Chain A
Amino acid sequence: MSPALEALVASYNHWITIFLMVAGLYTVIAKDNMIKKLVGLSLFQTSVYLLYLSPGKILGGTAPIIAPEFDVYSNPLPHVLILTAIVVGIATIALGLALVVRIHEAYGTIEEDQVFAAGDNE
C-alpha cells in the first residue's frame, strides 16, 4: 500500500472522530431549535466515545472476556469509562428534554431567538 493510503487507514478513526465532533459542535451552536441542539449534543458525546475506544483496540485481539483459547485482548479500561459516559449522557439528554418541554409551555416556542426575544420583552 502506498504511504498515503497506509496513513489514511491508520488514522481514519481519528479523522471521522474529528468530523463528528465538529459536526456536533456546529449543530449545538448554529441551530436555533432546541431539540436539534440536543441531538447535536448527543452527536458530540458519541464522537467522544469513539475517541476513547479507538486507541484501546488491538488488531488481532478480541473482546476482553477471558477465555482459554484467546491470549490477546483489547484494552478493557476505556470500555468501563465509556459505559459510565453513555449512561451519564442519557441522563443529561433526559434532563435537557424535560427543560425543553417546560420552556415550550412557558414561551410557546422552542426556537432560541424567539425565546430570548420573549424574555427581553417580559
Chain B
Amino acid sequence: MEIELRNVWHSYDGFTYALKDINLNFKKPGLYIVVGPNGAGKTTLLKIVSLILKPSQGFVLVNNKDFWKLKEDEKTVIRRDIVFVHDKPILLRGTVKYNIEIGLTIRNAYNTATLNYYVNKYGLEEILNRSSHKLSAGQAKIVSIVRALVLNPYVLILDEPFTFLDETRQNLLLEEIKNRVKENKITIVATHYMYKELVETSNNIIEIISGKIKYST
C-alpha cells in the first residue's frame, strides 16, 4: 500500500489552517517519525493519512487513486489495512475486554490467540473486566494500543504513543515497532520527543512546524 499526500491543506474553521500545502508520501515500508511542537499539526496530519479526516484541499492518493473519490466499500477495504491510535485514548463505555475487541468485532475477525498474546504481553489480564472509565491514563493508553495491535494492520499510525506509559511498556512498544519494521510494514509515529531507539530504527523523519513541513528525509 502506498499513501501520498499532494498539496494538502486543512482547516477546521474555514479561517485558520492546521496544515498548509503538505506533500508527503508513505510508500516504502518502515518507520516514519513525525516530530514537531504541540499544535504543529501532527495529529491533523495523522488523521488525514489514516483516511478518517478529509482534507479541506488537496489529494490523498492511495495506490495512486484519489481516496476521497472512491466508493464507500472501496474506502472500507483500504481502511482495513490502516489503524490509527489517538493521542487521547478513545475508550467506549464498557469493559477493557469489550474495548480491545471492538476492532475485531467491527471486522468480524475474532482471533482469540492474537488477543490473548497481546493481553498477556502488556499485562492486561487483571483489568480485562474493569470498566474503561476506571482506568488510569497509562492503562487507557495501553488498552487503545493493544486494541490496534490485535488487528495486525499493514499501516499502524500512533499519535504520541509513549505518553503516560511506564518504562516497561515503552520498551515493549519500541520492540513492537522494531518488529514491524523487520516485517516490512509501515509504522508512523508522531511524537514531540525524539526517542533515541526510535530514531535509530527510522530512516524517515518528518518535522512539522505551524502546519508546514520543515524537514523531511
> Do A and B bind?
no
